[in-house]
Structure 1
Amino acid sequence: MAMQDRAIRTRQAILSAAAKVFEERGYQAATITEILAVAGVTKGALYFHFQSKEDLAEGVLSEQDQQLSVPERACKVQEFVDSVLLHAHRLRTDPMVRAGVRLTLDQRAEGLDRSGPFLRWGDIGRHLLQRAQAQGELLPHVTPSETADVVVGSFAGIQSMSQALSDYQDLMERTSSLLRHLLPSVVQSSVLTSVDLSESRGAKVLDEILELRRQAVAVQEPAGVGVS
């Protein structure tokens, strides 16, 4: 178990170092040597976990999605909004997510398949909007897959603009504004009046997820743990 824990920590240290280098330098300019220096691990340790720079980049791209599912909501439009605002908040606060987004949008990253995050986010949005449609929350003309793609593409542009203009400091404001502009053409007005689109919503959702995790861990701990 100790060896397994050490391997997990080493892998995470390598991914964190790769994320830092990819975010700062982009995919093409980043080197394995620089990632090794930042991670403070041997070349053998890195190649045990990742076979190439492309493999490292794929690891960072998938890591940004790490199991932070929004709790289920009765209103599926709110659940959809929460997913967007949570991602925006993590983009502002989590270097791994920032690196993943930079890689996703890096048009000079030759040989790297950047389609994964776009497809995953499109699938998440489509699934939630289909459920919203089934509950009568959407306007009659809406096609969930089309709307999901519009939101994913629009958010990609909004976050890129925010990064250039304010280093993501205004991202929550811009994302909230994007949703306020798009959703009236998609969602029944009677539903939209009760949906929280506020700039602080992403942080609240993350706090809720982390609290649910803490509660789950506390329930799983056997009686007497921590008692001397």
Structure 2
Amino acid sequence: MAEQVRAIRTRQAILAAAAKVFEERGYQAATISEILASAGVTKGALYFHFQSKEDLAFGVLNAQNQNLVIPDRAIKVQGVVDIVMLHTYRLQTDPMVRAGVRLTMDQLAQGLDRSGPFRTWAMPVREGLERAKSQGELLPQIDPTETADVIVGTYAGIQSMSQALTDYEDLVSRVTALLRHLMPSIVQSSVLTSVDISESRGQNVYNEAFAHSQSVPEAEVERAAG
């Protein structure tokens, strides 16, 4: 049992070090030696858990997906907004999420498949929009699949702009501005008045989702998240 705990801690230390190096240097410039030095582990320990730099990058990309489940909302559009705002809060506060986004947006990352995170982000947004459409919350012409891709794509651009200009300090205000512009072209006006897109929403949703994850058995959380 003690060995298993040590192995888990070693893996977490390696991932945290890899996240730091990938965020600072980008995928192409990052080296295994830098990650080893930052993690303070041996080469053997690293290769026990990860076979290559690409494997490390996928580990970081997967580690950003905490088992945080947003409780179901009566207004389904609110659930879509909450996905966006929760990711925004975590992007500002979680180094693993920032590193994952850096890898995803890194066009110089040769040999690294960066498509997975975009699909991962788009899927719950699309599903939320489909539920909203079934409840009559969306404008008639809205296609949930197309709109999910638009939301994910525009968000990617907004977060990249925020990172370049202010290192994410203004991310929340930029994302709420994005939602104020997008939502009226997607959502019925009668529904939109009840949707919360305030700047404090992300932290509130994180606190709610974290508390929920602590009260639900681990296996159930994994089923809900997967």
Q: Structure 1-normalised TM-score?
A: 0.93
For 1:19, the aligned partner's letter is: A
Return the alpha-carbon distance in structure 2 between the equivalents of residues 30 and 13 of structure 1: 17
Return the alpha-carbon distance in structure 2 between the equivalents of residues 216 and 81 of structure 1: 23
Structure 1 residue 210: Cα displacement: 1.9
Return the alpha-carbon distance in structure 2 between the equivalents of residues 150 and 68 of structure 1: 24
* Equivalent residue runs for 1:8-23 within 5 Å: 8-23=8-23
For 1:41, the aligned partner's letter is: V
Structure 1 residue 63: Cα displacement: 1.2
Aligned position for 2:43? 43
| Structure 1, gaps ≥5 residues long | 218-228
Does residue 54 in structure 1 map to residue 54 in structure 2? yes
Aligned position for 1:78? 78
Name the % identity: 70
Structure 1 residue 2: Cα displacement: 1.8
Does residue 90 in structure 1 map to residue 90 in structure 2? yes
Show structure 1 runs of 4+ deviating over 4 A. none
Return the alpha-carbon distance in structure 2 between the equivalents of residues 79 and 6 of structure 1: 38
Does residue 130 in structure 1 map to residue 133 in structure 2? no
Structure 1 residue 6: Cα displacement: 1.3
Please say if residues 68 and 213 of structure 2, whose CA atoms lie closer than 8 Å, have aligned partners that are also in contact. no
Greater RCO, 1 or 2 (C-alpha within 8 Å, sep 6+)? 2
Return the alpha-carbon distance in structure 2 between the equivalents of residues 211 and 123 of structure 1: 24
* Equivalent residue runs for 1:79-228 within 5 Å: 79-216=79-216
Q: Structure 2-normalised TM-score?
A: 0.94
Structure 1 residue 69: Cα displacement: 2.1
Please say if residues 129 and 144 of structure 2, whose CA atoms lie closer than 8 Å, have aligned partners that are also in contact. yes
Structure 1 residue 216: Cα displacement: 4.1
Return the alpha-carbon distance in structure 2 between the equivalents of residues 120 and 145 of structure 1: 13
RMSD: 1.0
Return the alpha-carbon distance in structure 2 between the equivalents of residues 145 and 177 of structure 1: 22
Return the alpha-carbon distance in structure 1 between the equivalents of residues 18 and 215 of structure 2: 32
Please list the CA deviations of residues 165-197 of structure 1 after superposition, one character each: whole Å capped at 9, or x if unmatched.
111001011001101100101001111100000
How many residue pairs get matched? 217
For 2:10, the aligned partner's letter is: T
| Structure 2, gaps ≥5 residues long | 218-226
Please say if residues 126 and 144 of structure 2, whose CA atoms lie closer than 8 Å, have aligned partners that are also in contact. yes
For 1:40, the aligned partner's letter is: G
For 2:27, the aligned partner's letter is: Y
Please say if residues 132 and 138 of structure 2, whose CA atoms lie closer than 8 Å, have aligned partners that are also in contact. yes
Return the alpha-carbon distance in structure 2 between the equivalents of residues 171 and 123 of structure 1: 22
Q: Which has the larger radius of gyration?
A: 1
Structure 1 residue 68: Cα displacement: 1.6
